[in-house]
Structure 1
Amino acid sequence: MSLRCGVTNLSPETLEQLDALKLEVLADKIIAEHHEYIRETGPELVRLGEKLLAAHGDDSETIQTLVPLINALIDDLTPHLFKEEKILFPAIRGLATGEQTQSCFGHIGNPIRMMLHEHNEADEIVLAIQKVTHNFTAPKEACKTWQTCYQLLSEFCQDLINHIHVEDTILFPKSIALADQ
């Protein structure tokens, strides 16, 4: 299942390479590349948003709408990453390596369904961000901070689209198939 808010820009070759990885290696790659990117970039987006709100919040309905959306997206992603890293991905690693792991959730499909639900929630926020920013197109009169925020937000959302696409179309289906063997 891919995000409705955008299309992955990962090449077919890259997707094939990711699909060929062992599940535990793919999970580690997602953490190293996408989760760390969110942790590094999320606070900067919040900072830029707050700066925009202070400078333009009284005059710009766009900024008044955008900043809470940025905050909501980062606030939603933070516990999501934790759940994947501390609960779901260790269970996937255990499945992939044949190591017995303790879990309270039964079949691996149960937490995956929750992650898919949370991916859809992130999707809704990204759709709202795309709408309010006119697909990340800063107004002509936008200051440097505004332009920087839109550029970084565009990159962030594309990375999130790619990240969720890999989880939803490769990691999760393969994990469920392995659990069902």
Structure 2
Amino acid sequence: MTASIVSEWSGKSNRELIEFIVERFHQVHRQQLPELKQLALKIEEVHGDHDEAPHGLAEHLDNMLHELESHMMKEEQILFPMLARDIYPSGPISVMEEEHVQHEQDINKISALTNNLTLPEGACGSWQALYRGLGELVDDLNQHIELENTVLFVERESTPTHGKDFCCGSCQ
């Protein structure tokens, strides 16, 4: 993700950023992973005897699908509603950041299983589509994580409250 995109979103409200993240990343991940898993299964079945076949990739993508779905649901149901009210709960944010580290490890495993998304000579169209899709998934996940970690999860200065009162957000 370029610095200009990060700075562009730094000026937006949490509500706008959350809407963007859900539409641009959460919904896209929910489409990408099942499709990529099916392609990986096909490649493993058809080309399983090839030295460079990505053995274990379909299972890894299935695990990622379940982990990522759980992560996104926690964000959508718990964390995002709080952030939309400009409440920055350190506990849930820390949990999401820890899970982002796991997602980065999952990306590294994709790289290891696919020889850094390097296609073997003469790879079929399905294999090419799989690696192209995996490249998009990796790029999207990296952008998603960076946007949340560097913009959404960072408490911003808010408008001054009356006196030293603190609003829990439920009055908004």
Query: Could you tell me which residue of structure 2 aligns to residue 165 of structure 1?
Result: 146
Residue 67 of structure 1 pairs with residue 67 of structure 2: no
What is the rounded CA distance, in whole Å, between the counterparts of 1:25 and 1:158 in structure 2? Answer: 22
Residue 44 of structure 1 pairs with residue 25 of structure 2: no
Q: CA deviation at 1:173?
A: 1.3
Which one has a larger percent helix, Structure 1 or Structure 2?
1
Question: Structure 2: any 5+ residue segments left out of the alignment?
Answer: 159-165, 168-172
Q: Which one of the candidate residues 15, 21, 24 is aligned to 2:6? A: 15
Matches for 1:103-142 after TM superposition, within 5 Å: 108-142=89-123
Task: State the AA in 2 paired with 1:143.
Answer: C
Q: TM-score, normalised by structure 2?
A: 0.84
Whether the 8 Å CA contact 2:25–2:140 is kept in 1: the answer is yes
Whether the 8 Å CA contact 1:80–1:115 is kept in 2: the answer is yes
Q: Which one of the candidate residues 8, 11, 28 is aligned to 2:19? A: 28
Whether the 8 Å CA contact 1:19–1:170 is kept in 2: the answer is yes
> Quick check: 158-167 or 73-82, which moved more?
73-82
Q: CA deviation at 1:59?
A: 4.0
Q: CA deviation at 1:164?
A: 0.3
Q: CA deviation at 1:174?
A: 2.4
Query: Could you tell me which residue of structure 2 aligns to residue 87 of structure 1?
Result: 78
Whether the 8 Å CA contact 1:56–1:63 is kept in 2: the answer is no
Query: Could you tell me which residue of structure 2 aligns to residue 4 of structure 1?
Result: none
SS in 1 for 2:24: helix
State the aligned residue count.
160
Deviant stretches of 4+, over 6 Å: none
Q: CA deviation at 1:62?
A: 3.8
SS in 1 for 2:54: helix
Q: CA deviation at 1:68?
A: 2.1
> Quick check: 163-172 or 46-55, which moved more?
46-55
Which of structures 1 and 2 has the larger relative contact order (alpha carbons within 8 angstroms, sep 6+)? 1
Question: Structure 1: any 5+ residue segments left out of the alignment?
Answer: 1-9, 97-106
What is the rounded CA distance, in whole Å, between the counterparts of 1:89 and 1:60 in structure 2? Answer: 44
Larger Rg: 2
Q: CA deviation at 1:133?
A: 1.6
What is the rounded CA distance, in whole Å, between the counterparts of 1:58 and 1:110 in structure 2? Answer: 47
What is the rounded CA distance, in whole Å, between the counterparts of 1:69 and 1:160 in structure 2? Answer: 15
What is the rounded CA distance, in whole Å, between the counterparts of 2:92 and 2:143 in structure 1? Answer: 20
